[in-house]
Amino acid sequence: INMMALEIKDYFSYIHSQAYTDAMTGVGNKASYMDVVKVMDRKISEGMAAFIVIGFDVNGLKNVNDNYGHEYGDMLITDTADIMKNVFSTENVYRIGGDEFIVVIENEGEEDVAKYLKCFDEQIGSFNERNTKYEYDLAVSKGGAAFDETKDKAYKDVFKRADEIMYKDKEAFYRGS
């Protein structure tokens, strides 16, 4: 009976992993992310929220997929995820779309957003210095925001600010500035 109980426990752990982990990158998937959103909304309603949200989007992925193939594009996605896991820790990173990632970290504030983004930029720079896989530099647009109890009524309010900053960063990338 003990052996069967251990097998069942292992099986449930495996099923949970399959349901909540992005198979390609090893980070949380959209289902896992949606659970975090619910938790943050509950904490906001209870007056117990303190967190940051950082959004990321790999630049030029469509062009890479069109010109080099999806396997090459997948390499960009997995390399980006590996850098993110290194900077933010795997349990805080979620792949919510093809090349879109979200980081949610509790008990951090506005000043921490800049600190994390600086570290991420440094890691991207180091990756690009050592890069022998790609003919060009890996580029990722990003934007972050911290929960502000004076203006945020729901998680989506924080996400929206982070997303707007990320899209401004993406626009600047494509303008070449």
pLDDT number for residue 10: 72
pLDDT number for residue 158: 98
Sheet holding 100-106, edge to edge: 93-95, 100-106, 51-58, 140-146
pTM comes to 0.89
Of the candidates 172, 87, 99, 71, which has an alpha carbon nearest to the alpha carbon of residue 124? 87
DSSP element (H, E) containing 43: helix 30-45
pLDDT number for residue 4: 78
Question: What burial letters (b/e) apply to 100-121, b meaning 16+ CB within 10 Å?
Answer: bbbbbbeebeeebbeebbeebe
DSSP element (H, E) containing 25: none
Cα–Cα distances (Å) from 115 to 55, 61, 112, in that order, read 15, 26, 5
Q: What is the mean pLDDT of the chain?
A: 92
Q: Report the distance separating Cα 17 and Cα 30, nearest Å.
A: 13
Which residue ranges of the chain lie beneath pLDDT 50?
none
Tell me if 47 sits within 8 A of 147, measured CB to CB.
Answer: no
